[in-house]
Structure 1
């Protein structure tokens, strides 16, 4: 939840306070400068798209947020990317021979295909457990198993 604490409409500078942490952000107050397209979170200037702090400032001041979206996100600029024709990749037989360096994969770095994954956890003295001797499943005594239990009734046919 965002709350606008200071609003300077002439300079288009807004101070906002975060009432609860979101996505692990530890910062609780942000300053948004709408004319400069910047926010203290850094997303507004890096994405060229209003972050949630800028959107909250626009809502508080009743400003249309669409003016702060970079023109590269418009449909016309997206369509310009596809104006040029893409030539298909020719058949591999028509490729020129390569005389440069050949890359050989390191087999030691290859991911294990199947089976139980190997633990990468570093163990210490806290992980050491005292192994108790196995107990019998019938009489619960140590030293033997259910198959060799002296107390078991063995009926031979």
Structure 2
């Protein structure tokens, strides 16, 4: 279903699926799904999850919370937890967008040999070149020692 000139997605109205992934993730129809439902003549409101309903909100707050008896609490000095400083800078993990999915169909490619399945860092050709350079250095050292 094409919503505008820039966006295009495949929508499965019967299965409540959209190729953008928003309908499954957020459990309410995305723009593509709403456009497809409107084109078929189906109301999008019943396709929303019950978690977005007012009745579900009321049910979640219907339970009463019992107060805590302060007299039963142990009195004493409360100290902050012992925190040790971590060494080095923490690794940053990029937060992915909620609609971003990793495409497993595209394997990695090597920039050295242009083959798929590995990158330049793990390329066998790179290792062979390193061994060849090491051999050349050893030969040069041997020549310098004899001279």
TM range (shorter): 0.3 to 0.5
Query: Bigger radius of gyration, 1 or 2?
Result: 1
TM-score in terms of structure 1 length: 0.44
Which protein is richer in strand relative to its size? Answer: 1
